[in-house]
């Protein structure tokens, strides 16, 4: 530690700009949003200063919202499971490549990760749409007779979210798997465990921090990927985040605020479930 730099005045000078920016433009607005979620809807201004729980009670007493919440949970769960089932082998493969090969694999994953979500959603739009690649190929080969609309369905949304979020999972898992000391698996082999048992008893538990952090990242991003959901689900297949957007379009700010916090609540519940199931803390600090 550097005594002169960690001297109070200078240290504060360094810490203040990020602190101020995040306080003013992250903490304050979210606090304000929480405040608004307990205010009354207003036709003329953002809200009426009249404390109420109505925004929340209306959501939870409306069977439509329950349907949306169920749907959101279902699609998130499917995305999480598929991300793990597809991402883990890919990461396992990448982690066992040479350092150079792993670098290339990670680069291939990074490019899509950086491309805007709207572009990637548009890709699926172009594939799954009525005049898209899939429909076109299938009619061309005579498998189906008329062009079919594959968009605006559970499958389309799930597929879109899955492909957008897979790279996050693969990158997170690859880094976690690549840092597992080879000696652990060698030790397991020396003790007579075959490849499968070594994987199940040693590698998998040791990679649990990577699994947990990857799944949590995917959860938060899947729940809030409005644009992808809007493009691929259309007006027919909406998730909770679409409800937030719709409330904004109709200027019902307190309702939008309340829906936001319901969404956050769901995200935290899923995150806790992930922690409980994956139990990363059992190896944290060791792997």
Partner 1 sequence: MNTQAPSMINADVRFTRVEKKFDTATALHSLDLEIERGSLFALLGPSGCGKTTTLRLIAGFEQPTSGHVYIRGNDVTGVPAYKRSFGMVFQSFALFPHLTVAENVAFGLKMRNVSKADIVTKVAAALDLVELGKLGERYPRQLSGGQQQRVALARAVVFEPDVLLLDEPLSALDKMLREQMQVEIRHLQQRLKMTTVFVTHDQEEALTMSDRVAVMKDGRIQQAGTPREIYDRPRTEFVATFLGASNILEAIVKGKDGTGTILDIAGNTLSVAGVTAEAGAKLCFALRPEKISIGSMDGNQPGGIAASVREAIYRGAQTLLYLDINGMPVNAVVQNAGVEPMNLEPGAAVRLHWDNDNMVALEPAR
Partner 2 sequence: MSAFILRLVVGIVLALVIGPILVVIIAAFSSGESLSFPPPGFSLRWFIEFFSIAQMRNAFMLSIVLAIASACGAAAVGLLGAIYVSRNRNAFSVMLQMLIMAPLVFPALILGLALLLLYKTVNMSVLPGLFIAHVVVCLPYAFRSVLTSLQSFDTTLEEAGQSLGAGPVRSFLLITMPIIWPGVLSGWLFAFVVSFGELNTALFLTGPGIVTLPIEIFSYLQFQGNQLVVAAASALQVLIILIVLFLAERLVGARQIVQR
Residue 67 makes contact with partner 2 by CB under 8 A: no
Does 142 sit near partner 2 (CB under 8 A)?
Answer: no
Please state, in angstroms and rounded to a whole number, the distance separating the CA atoms of residues 29 and 146.
50
215 binds, among partner 2, partner 1, none (CB under 5 to 8 A by kind): none
Q: Which of the residues 194 through 253 are near partner 2 (CB under 8 A)? A: 216-217, 220-221, 223-227, 230-231, 241, 244-245, 248, 253
CB of 16 to partner 2, least distance (A): 8
Task: Pick what 126 binds: partner 2, partner 1, none; C-beta below 5 to 8 Å, kind-dependent.
Answer: partner 2
Choose the one of partner 1, partner 2, none that binds residue 33, judging by a C-beta under 5 to 8 angstroms depending on kind. partner 2
Distance CA 27, CA 133 (A): 45
Longest dimension (CA), the chain: 76
Residue with tokens 């944290």: 284
Q: Residue 138 to residues 125, 149, 156, 262: CA-CA distances in angstroms?
A: 16, 12, 17, 41
**From CA 137, how far away is CA 131, in angstroms rounded?**
10
Nearer to partner 2, 63 or 85 (CB): 85
Question: Does position 65 bind partner 2 by CB under 8 A?
Answer: no
Count the Cβ atoms, other than its own, within 10 Å of residue 12. Answer: 10
Should residue 122 be labelled a site residue for partner 2 when binding is judged by CB under 8 A? yes
Query: 109: closest CA among 80, 83, 75, 134?
Result: 83
The DSSP secondary-structure symbol of 114 reads H
Nearer to partner 2, 30 or 77 (CB): 30
Q: Minimum distance from CB of 4 to partner 1 (Å)?
A: 5
Residues at the interface with partner 1 (CB under 8 A):
3-4, 7
């Amino acid at each position: 530690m550097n005594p002169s730099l960690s001297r109070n005045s200078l240290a504060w000078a360094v810490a203040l700009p990020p602190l101020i920016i995040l306080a003013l433009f992250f903490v304050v607005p979210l606090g304000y949003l929480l405040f608004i979620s307990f205010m009354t809807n207003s036709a003329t201004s953002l809200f009426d200063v009249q404390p109420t729980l109505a925004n929340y009670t209306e959501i939870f007493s409306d069977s439509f919202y329950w349907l949306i919440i169920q749907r959101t949970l279902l699609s998130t769960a499917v995305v999480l499971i598929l991300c793990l089932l597809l991402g883990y082998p890919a990461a396992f493969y990448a982690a066992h490549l040479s350092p150079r090969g792993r670098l290339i694999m990670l680069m291939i994953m990074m490019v899509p990760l950086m491309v805007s979500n709207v572009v990637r959603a548009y890709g699926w739009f172009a594939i799954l749409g009525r005049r898209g690649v899939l429909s076109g190929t299938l009619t061309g080969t005579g498998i189906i007779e008329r062009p079919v609309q594959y968009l605006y369905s559970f499958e389309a949304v799930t597929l879109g979210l899955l492909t957008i979020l897979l790279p996050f999972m693969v990158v997170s898992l690859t880094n976690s798997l690549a840092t597992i000391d080879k000696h652990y698996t060698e030790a397991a082999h020396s003790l007579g465990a075959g490849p499968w048992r070594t994987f199940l008893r040693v590698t998998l538990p040791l990679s649990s921090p990577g699994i947990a952090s990857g799944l949590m990242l995917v959860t938060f991003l899947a729940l809030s990927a409005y644009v992808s959901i809007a493009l691929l689900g259309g007006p027919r297949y909406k998730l909770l985040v679409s409800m937030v957007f719709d409330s904004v379009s109709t200027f019902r700010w307190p309702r939008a605020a309340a829906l936001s916090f319901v969404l956050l609540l769901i995200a935290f519940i899923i995150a806790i479930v992930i922690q409980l199931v994956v139990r990363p803390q059992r190896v944290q600090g060791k792997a």
